[in-house]
A and B are shown apart, each in its own frame.
Chain A
Amino acid sequence: MTTDVDLPTAVSRQFPSAAPRPSLDCPAFNVPAGEALALLQYLRDAQACDFLMDLTAIDGSAGQSPRFTVVWHLYSSTKHTYVRVAAPCATDAEPAMPTATRLWAGADWHEREVYDMFGIKFTGHPDLRRILMWDAYPYFPLRKEFPLAGLPTEMSDADINAETGVGVISAPMAGGPFVATPGEPMSAAEPRAKDEAWNEKKEKPE
């Protein structure tokens, strides 16, 4: 606990490009995508952050650049402290990030999940497939433009589609009565199925 104070200075000395990231709890850093792995390796080997607890991404929503940020949470089982590392993906259209699987074997499934949900490709990943959704699923559901109710799609098997003629349909009243999104006015949180993919004012997306 006590050694935690000098971790930010040690990191900024070693990695001048790593800027402190606003955080309410543990030390956090923003690094360029190219240096993320080197910083993670430094934290693991020199700062005893032996656990990769969590790996996820944040979608800054369409129109913002850089749009996707990958976030790693490391935990030190000897110092009992966390470190957060965040790196923005270079391109917004085809986001990519180097894989951490050679540092932690457990990064494998985390990265597959981030790819599944956000479409961020992890370069060098040995087996980058979808993990929660099925392989042929066409969307990335945790991107901000993806509606809560879902979008109709085909099922994974073509023969089942042909036989039944039914695909996956969107949820009719997704979100419950009070659906709200950050930054929207009070009127947007009125009791109705707000997050439909289309309504009287919005075109049905193809």
Chain B
Amino acid sequence: MAADFSFPDAAAKAATLPKEFDSEKMSLSMGPSHPSTHGVLRIQFELDGEMVTKADPVIGYLHRGDEKIAENMTYNQFVPYTDRLDYIAPLANNMAYAIAVERLAGLEVPARCQAIRVLTAEMARVSSHLMGLGAYGIDVGAWTVFMYCFEEREKLYKLFEELTGARFTTSYTRIGGLQRDVPAGWTRKVDAFCDQFLPILEEILSLLSRNKIFLDRTVDIGVISPADAVAYGLTGPNLRGSGVPNDLRKDRPYSGYGQYEFDVPVGSKGDCYDRYLCRGEEMKQSVRIIRQIVKNFPGGDWYAKDARKIFAPPKDKVLTSMEELINNFMIVTEGPQMPAGEVYFEAENPKGVLGFYIVSKGGGVPYRLKIRSPSFCNLSILPKLCVGHLVSDVVSILGSLDFVMGECDR
């Protein structure tokens, strides 16, 4: 099926398809409520028999106007909305947003704060890839993988709950710091999780990596050439699966990523199987980073102490000191005070590169906040990618792209 993909465009490829039957084209609407579309994605297909000749994704079913909402609230008030972008990895979104606003303020947070943020972001990456892997297993008919993945994910969620008070919508970062410091003994539990997780991960991957059915469903399916991946702005494992070694954690280290040792796995062919392999390896690398952080956990402050007009003072100070009370009141009502200017910050999230473009005219509310979501860009290649595949292969392709509609539709 996937012999030659060096076609000039989708229409030309459709024209070269073998015509076994001279029949009418059929149209098929897949989604928005369909188990393999991972949320509310809908694809309008034009089919020749069972072969896709045209695919038109219909998105926006989960559009909540996040960018409009951001223009009407203070910077801290928007943190909970970032949970709901890629709701599989809210901690990573929290961090990306907080760093974007801190770049605007010209604020540098202390080493401990950076380390906690990286730690939580990498745990979120593991949790997100586990979800993606488990769901992908179900998509191509391997139910067991899902159960294994969800058990591990549940352990991570217990840790998230202990740290942030919430399993899912963590809202953990604040501009200039965090919601709270890590609880006593928590990093030991993280380490214990890593110890037991690695053998289980090997077991999970061994269920799929040499599985004949899985190989048949993924190898040579949905091949994305490096040139296409770049032209469509693909990021994350979807880009690296095509052999382009782009990882912002390595290329533009933020939040202290430069001090950790880890490798960036890349694929060789760019098919669904390569993207699966990349995610599996990325989890191991994330565990590597987590271990390094836990081993050398920095002490000191966990929020920027000098940012008096940005980070709200501790509650006990607010209740006892007049100045801190006023300070707290101003931050809550007026928002953290930002200078005028423009910044664009991108972070390497589990799904790809999440970017925030903030235009500020000063004060506590952004004038314009644009969210560059990886799932949106990753899905934009679908019209080209699906053509020439069977409908059942489309299910495999969708699972391998590992998107989240909350982020795509914003």
Contact = CB atoms under 8 A, between A and B. Distances in A.
Nearest to A146: B68
B370 A182 contact: no
Given A25-B344, A106-B380, A183 B333 contact: no
Contacts of B339: 24
Given A77-B230, A148-B71, 10 more contacts: A24-B103, A25-B344, A56-B370, A77-B251, A105-B384, A106-B377, A132-B63, A174-B72, A175-B72, A179-B72
Interface in A35-74: 50-54, 56, 58-59, 71, 73
Interface string B317-351: 00000000000000011110001011111100000
B231 A104 contact: yes
B346 A181 contact: no
A133 interface: yes
A174 B68 CA distance: 11
B59 A132 contact: yes
B181 to A, nearest CB: 27
B231 A178 contact: no
Interface stretch (B30-38, B210-218, B273-281, B356-364): B356-364
Nearest to B358: A24
Interface of B: 59-60, 63, 65, 67-69, 71-74, 77, 103-104, 106, 228, 230-234, 244, 246, 251-252, 332-335, 339, 341-346, 353, 355, 357, 359-368, 370, 372, 376-377, 379-381, 384, 409-410
B363 A183 contact: yes
A25 B357 CA distance: 11
B189 to A, nearest CB: 35
Interface residue SS majority, chain B = mixed
Contacts of A51: 230, 233
29 contacts: A22-B342, A23-B341, A24-B104, A24-B106, A24-B339, A25-B342, A28-B342, A53-B233, A56-B357, A77-B251, A80-B252, A105-B384, A106-B231, A106-B377, A108-B380, A109-B380, A131-B60, A132-B59, A133-B60, A134-B60, A174-B72, A175-B72, A178-B73, A179-B72, A181-B72, A181-B365, A182-B362, A183-B363, A195-B72
Interface in A72-106: 73, 75, 77, 80, 82, 84, 104-106
Contacts of B380: 105-106, 108-109
Which residue of A21, A52, A105, A183 has the most chain B CB atoms within 10 A of its CB atom? A105
Contacts of A21: 342
Contacts of A28: 342
A197 interface: no
Contacts of A150: 65
Given A54-B344, A54-B355, A180 B334 contact: yes
B277 to A, nearest CB: 21
A20 to B, nearest CB: 12
B341 A24 contact: yes
Contacts of B370: 54, 56
Contacts of B104: 24
A131 B59 contact: yes
Contacts of B367: 58, 182
Contacts of B233: 51-53, 104, 106
B357 A141 contact: no
A155 interface: no
Contacts of B353: 53
Sorted nearest first, the 9 A-B pairs with minimum C-beta distance are: A106-B233, A132-B60, A109-B380, A106-B232, A24-B341, A54-B372, A56-B370, A80-B251, A132-B63
Contacts of B244: 77
B103 A25 contact: yes
Contacts of A174: 72
A176 B77 CA distance: 9
B355 A53 contact: yes
B355 A73 contact: yes
A11 interface: no
A27 to B, nearest CB: 11
A189 B210 CA distance: 60
Given A132-B409, A141-B68, A77 B246 contact: yes
Given A106-B380, A180-B335, A24 B252 contact: no
Contact of A186 (B333, B359, B377): B333
A181 B342 contact: no
A142 interface: yes
Contact of B68 (A53, A84, A106, A142): A142
Interface in A108-133: 108-109, 113, 117, 130-133
B82 to A, nearest CB: 15
B42 to A, nearest CB: 12
Which residue of B68, B231, B364, B409 has the most chain A CB atoms within 10 A of its CB atom? B68
A58 B67 CA distance: 12
Nearest to A86: B342
